[in-house]
Amino acid sequence: MLAGCAAEGTTRILSYYGDWTGVRPGQRPFPHRGLDFDASVGDPVIAATDGTVVRVFVNGSCGNGIVVQHPVDAMRSFGRLFTAIWTRPTSKGARR
């Protein structure tokens, strides 16, 4: 499931959903539950659909991140956001 992506469609995917290996050496303890993109600091992240940010987090494996609640009972996490996180109302595909 594609949770979101870097803008312009020019970004390489480093790790796919279900991969047992990833950007770090060695095998994961469980299959990867997302997609990792090779984006640069400052690149915008585009939401897959409208939603509301319901959580902002920082953790050791995903870095800075947000959880977005979508209208159709789906939640998506956007992690490894290395810069400060700020949010405001937005809609699918919006760039701000």
- Is the pTM above the cut of 0.75? no
User: Is the distance from CB of 75 to CB of 68 less than 8 angstroms?
Assistant: yes
- Is 70 exceeded by the pLDDT of residue 20? yes
Find the Cα–Cα–Cα–Cα dihedral 71, 15, 88, 72, rounded to 10°: 0
**Rounded CA separation 42/39 (Å):** 9
Q: What is the pLDDT of residues 47-73, one digit of tens each?
A: 777 888 888 778 777 677 778 787 877
**Could you tell me which residues are beta bridge partners of residue 34?**
none
